[in-house]
């Protein structure tokens, strides 16, 4: 079963990168493939729970729902610990099921597990 790592480094809603990466991840995992979404930099904001409904606010789909859907399908979503901490976030502020790893461990996981890697 092919394993894809999608690394998201841009925050949601300012650009389409996070939405596009999560859309690809959902499509990949929905057909039975393995996917890991690695969140770095402002990409960690995609894992924040309790976001306002962006469809009502700015006519964009919810990345929070995308993350939850990926997790429900068996995908992994992992946030870089340093990136969440410097942005004033903590594990309790993230969607249930999102893993938190130290940066070095996350980079090692990407190199070890990623048969294919996309960075957005």
Find the largest Cα–Cα distance for the chain: 40
pLDDT of residue 44: 96
Q: How many domains does the chain have?
A: 1
DSSP string, 30-53: HTT-EEEEEE-GGGGGGGBSS---
| Domain of 99, in residue numbers | 3-119
Q: What is the pTM of this model?
A: 0.91
Which CATH number belongs to the domain containing residue 85 in this structure?
A: 3.40.1260.10
Looking at per-residue pLDDT, the higher value among 17 and 97 belongs to 97
Task: Check whether 57 has a pLDDT greater than 90.
Answer: no
Q: Nearest 5°: CA angle at 84, between 79 and 89?
A: 125
Residue 2's pLDDT band (cuts 50, 70, 90): low
């Amino acid at each position: 079963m092919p394993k894809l790592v999608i690394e998201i480094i841009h925050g949601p809603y300012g650009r389409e990168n996070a939405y596009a990466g999560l859309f690809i991840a959902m499509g990949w995992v929905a057909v039975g493939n393995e996917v890991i979404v690695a969140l770095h930099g402002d990409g960690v904001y995609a894992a924040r729970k309790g976001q306002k409904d962006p469809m009502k606010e700015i006519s964009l789909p919810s990345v929070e729902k995308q993350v939850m859907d990926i997790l429900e399908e068996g995908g992994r979503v992992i946030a870089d610990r340093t990136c969440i901490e410097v942005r004033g976030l903590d594990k309790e502020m993230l969607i249930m099921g999102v893993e938190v790893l130290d940066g070095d461990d996350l980079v090692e996981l990407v190199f070890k597990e990623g048969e294919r890697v996309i960075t957005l």
